[in-house]
Structure 1
Amino acid sequence: MTFGILPSGQSVERVELRAGELRAAVLSYGAILQRLEVAGVNVVLGLGTLQDYLTRSRYFGAVVGRYGNRIAGARFTLDGVEHRLPVNNGPNSLHGGIEGFDKKVWTIADRTSRSVTLTLVSPDGDQGYPGTLTASVTYTLDGDGLRLDYTAETDAPTVVNLTNHTYFNLAGSGDVLGHVLRMDAARYLPVDEHKIPTGELAPVKGTDFDFTTPHPIGARMDGGYDHCFVLDGPVEVRVPGLAMLMTTTEPGVQVYAGGMLDRPATPYGPHAGLCLETQHFPDSPNQPAFPTTVLRPGERRTSSTTYRFTA
């Protein structure tokens, strides 16, 4: 069904999925996960109109790229060539730039009653990134969970770091400060004043970043988390009556507790949702010690993330 029409005249489609007690809605604009219902409760933050997504969104439910998270100084060097990117987060480039993948109309390549595949071709030079990149994401309702499968291919060397920016609220309303979080993550990435990793993979033991045993998100740092953790296993989030278990093939997860959700004005307040952005590490193109995000012709980058729900 048509969700809305962009000022350019492009149509944005809305695809509804269902399987058992799960219901989902995905938009072709930004490959956005607009709704995810578990036993009748919508557990993600979304917006009601296309105009809201154009003017009031904080990346709600979108697939972000070409590079999710921050690149320091809005530049990187690849094979001896410096590439400059749009500056949209202090001195840095965030989530692919000013017109990242979250602001593109994706093509619906395939759909069934429980899955949809969307594709996007990002031309050479798009937001300063080299190479023509062909990306896809498939949303699948799989038993008691939602699985996201990503692919990316390029015709010239480039960097890529695709992730999804869904805000979860397992209670369906209120804030997430009381959500209990547990992560198999013994290390995290300390950052500087511009939220760029220092390069250290620091132990969480004895710090406010230790979620190896369960803690409410708001119990420390007033819930002010916007940090990448090095994953050793799954992530679990619980509220009374519902638990979500996240697994991924990616090496890290950016945990963002929504502290800035009132900027710009959105329908939500601070900490209304929790992002678990599975990804490679921020600023990896400038940090050779981190796992590489370089993609070359003939290679195919794939990753999968699954969110499973239990009562």
Structure 2
Amino acid sequence: MTHYRLPNARDFEHQLAGKSTHLITLENNRGVTVALADFGARIVSILVPDKLGNPTDVVLGFNSIQEYLAADEVYHGVTAGRFANRIANGRFTLEGETFYITPNNGPNALHGGANGFHNRVWDRRVVYKEKADFYYVSADGEEGFPGKLSVMVKYRLTDNNELVITYRAETDKPTVINLTNHAFFNLNGEGNGNVLDHLLQIQADAYLPVDAHQIPTGVPERVENTPFDFRKFKPIGQDINVPDDQLAKGNGYDHNYVLNRDVTTAQLPAATAISPLTGIRMDVLTTEPGLQLYTGNFLSGKDKGKQGVSYEKHGAFCLETQHFPDSPNQPDFPSTLLSPGQVFQSETVYRFSIVK
């Protein structure tokens, strides 16, 4: 049996771009502990009891800040922004002016560019046993985005085994914003095989097909009679290798689901994943209109995680709550415009329980 534990906080003490980095631990009264790092305002570990009561780390990651800095996959557990997901050709127009973000994903700008929020050391405002607040001020023009953007990400661990993530942002110029968390989950335990056996349900009747560069074509398609139908529980791997043009373009699932409207108030689960091995169930609740399912298609085995095991293809899944990819260039999508005087607010909850 694997004995999971949190990384050592000393291994996260480092100086980076003139700021100190740390590991922060949250805990509740039901045996759940969460480790966070101010580098990327990221989730490092989530330890939850499995069906036998054994603490199981369900998030991929590393044991030190140095390993995060050297990682092949740079988005483990991060707060992705200023614009999560892809912007086609790294450009968009706002109020008649065109802005350019240096592409870092083929022709696209991905997750805010090469030096997006994932690559910044955030400040900590509050840390208690059950919550931690991170904030960051993104300068006007940073990575090419307009406006000085003040961002706060709050993590709160409840005694209902919920990790609640609240986002808030304000700007001094019109800008675009799309924030998400990019945790890579394996409910079998990180490093414990692939996730193709996990049962998954997504409350979405439609998803967004993509072009050859993984940019949405702009027209949602119904999931019915496609490999993208997760309206009822099915194993993640059930249809992942069937001949399908969209699966080929993503090398697996890497697509945004248009969530049914009744699950976009963070009151009902938008998605649920279950490990038959550990009995761990994770419900995802959100106020966001979209959910990106990514099945670790580009995990290459180059990175070795907290247990010293290589992270191979399909060794994790991501359920990234978000606005739709390329929204600044697609006027029919829900708007990602943030103007002065407005407050961007969003909430996502990861709720853990056991299936008996």
TM over 0.5: yes
Separation in 2 of the partners of 1:123 and 1:186?
39
1:239 match: 275
1:248 match: 286
Q: Unaligned regions of 5+ residues in structure 2, if any? A: 1-8, 50-54, 242-246, 264-269, 305-309
Identity in percent: 45
1:69 match: 85
SS of aligned partner of 2:45: strand
- Indicate yes or no: 2:62 matched with 1:47: yes
TM-score by length of 1: 0.97
Separation in 1 of the partners of 2:85 and 2:211?
14
Q: Do the aligned partners of 2:302 and 2:311 also contact (CA within 8 Å) in 1? A: no
Deviation at 1:310, TM superposition (A): 1.3
2:187 match: 170
- Indicate yes or no: 2:43 matched with 1:25: no
Deviation at 1:58, TM superposition (A): 3.3
Q: Which has the higher strand share?
A: 1
The one-letter code matched in structure 2 to 1:88 is N
How many pairs are equivalent?
311
CA-based RMSD: 1.3
Separation in 2 of the partners of 1:221 and 1:130?
39
Select which of 301, 304, 308 maps to 2:351. Answer: 308
Separation in 1 of the partners of 2:140 and 2:206?
36
1:287 match: 330
SS of aligned partner of 1:181: strand
SS of aligned partner of 1:168: coil
1:95 match: 111
Q: Do the aligned partners of 1:58 and 1:261 also contact (CA within 8 Å) in 2? A: no
Select which of 127, 150, 154 maps to 2:167. Answer: 150
2:4 match: none
Deviation at 1:221, TM superposition (A): 2.4
1:216 match: 235
Select which of 142, 151, 166 maps to 1:126. Answer: 142
Separation in 2 of the partners of 1:17 and 1:146?
10
2:22 match: 13
Of residues 88-97 and 232-241 in structure 1, the stretch that sits farther from structure 2 once superposed is 232-241
Deviation at 1:304, TM superposition (A): 0.5
SS of aligned partner of 2:41: coil
The one-letter code matched in structure 2 to 1:181 is L
Deviation at 1:4, TM superposition (A): 2.8
Select which of 41, 46, 66 maps to 1:36. Answer: 46
SS of aligned partner of 1:77: strand
1:113 match: 129
Separation in 2 of the partners of 1:58 and 1:128?
20
Q: Do the aligned partners of 2:301 and 2:311 also contact (CA within 8 Å) in 1? A: no
Separation in 2 of the partners of 1:9 and 1:198?
42
The one-letter code matched in structure 2 to 1:124 is D
- Indicate yes or no: 2:98 matched with 1:82: yes
SS of aligned partner of 2:13: strand
TM-score by length of 2: 0.85
Separation in 1 of the partners of 2:301 and 2:97?
36
SS of aligned partner of 1:167: coil
Separation in 1 of the partners of 2:174 and 2:302?
36
The one-letter code matched in structure 2 to 1:279 is Q
Deviation at 1:169, TM superposition (A): 0.6
User: For residues 165-215 of structure 1, what are the alpha-carbon distances to aligned partners after superposition, in whole Å with 9 as ceiling and x for unaligned?
Assistant: 001111102111111101110000000000000001110001010000111
Deviation at 1:52, TM superposition (A): 1.2
The one-letter code matched in structure 1 to 2:59 is V
Separation in 1 of the partners of 2:313 and 2:300?
6
Separation in 1 of the partners of 2:64 and 2:164?
25
Separation in 2 of the partners of 1:76 and 1:199?
15
Deviation at 1:7, TM superposition (A): 5.0
Of residues 208-217 and 280-289 in structure 1, the stretch that sits farther from structure 2 once superposed is 208-217
Runs of 4+ residues over 2 Å off in structure 1: 6-10, 263-267
User: For residues 251-310 of structure 1, what are the alpha-carbon distances to aligned partners after superposition, in whole Å with 9 as ceiling and x for unaligned?
Assistant: 000100001111764541111111000000000000000000000000000000111111
196 and 263 in structure 1: CA distance in 2 versus 1, 3 angstrom threshold? farther
